[in-house]
Every structure is written in C-alpha cells, then in structure tokens.
Amino acid sequence: MLLNTHSPAEAKSNQPDTSGGFVDPAIGGAGWVYEAKGKRDPFITLVTPDGRIIEPPKPKERTEGPPRLEGLMYDAKGISYVVMDGEVFRAGEMVGDYQLIRIDSNKVIMQKADQVFEVELTPP
C-alpha cells in the first residue's frame, strides 16, 4: 500500500515554477516555454570591460496604425507564428490594441474594435 506522506503545501511546492513562461499545450505539457515579452535580452552586456554601466536600450515606441509585419512562419496544418514589431505572436493573441485573427502564407488579418486590417509581408 502506498501512502501520500506530503502535506498539500509540500505537494504544491513540488510543482514546477511557471513564472515568466507557460506550459504549452501544443507540446502536450511535456515542456516549459519561456516567455520573453517585456524582458531585456540577457545576452546584451550592461557593464563595459572598463567597468562603466551601460543603460539598457529603451523599448521602441509604437507608431499609429497596425503593427509592422516583419516575418512569419506559416504552417497550413499546424500553428503559425509571426514577428510583429520585434515580438513573436500566434493567431488569437493581442498585439498591442490589435487582435491577431488569422495568419496566412504572406499576410495576417488583424482586428481593432470593429475595424479589420490586412497586413502583408513585404520584402525589406
């Protein structure tokens, strides 16, 4: 016979910490996905070789209109991703005030309030 010797508090403390990320259901809960939105790049140094402190770069200010589509990874049979204004998104997520409705092979469909926008991927 197997007995549970952990209190509820101990059992909870054994659960994985998901702060700063989430368990992605697309991978069957088998892994943890790091969520980098709003966090600084850990590979950019904040101190020069001579010991001076460097100010981290300021976040980009948004311009008016839909976000800029910088790249996309389209999968007709699976989950597609886009890069907009330097961040990665999936269909259904919010990009600022815009909801990302659909990702096609060369464009995205977005909605803000009652307006629908089509943003095409253009060469650099």
Give a yes or no: residue 3 inside a domain: no
Q: Give the type of residue at 79.
A: I
pTM above 0.85? no
Give a yes or no: residue 37 inside a domain: yes
Tokens of 108: 């995205």
pLDDT band at 59 (very low <50, low <70, confident <90, very high): low
pLDDT band at 62 (very low <50, low <70, confident <90, very high): low
Give a yes or no: residue 6 inside a domain: no
Q: Is 89 exposed, middle or buried (0-12, 13-18, 19+ CB in 10 A)?
A: buried
Domain count along the chain? 1
Q: Is 83 exposed, middle or buried (0-12, 13-18, 19+ CB in 10 A)?
A: middle
The mean pLDDT of 20-42, rounded to a whole number, is: 64
Q: What is the DSSP letter of 79?
A: -
Domain range spanning residue 28? 20-56+64-120
Mean pLDDT of the chain: 77
Please report the pLDDT score of residue 33 as a whole number. Answer: 66
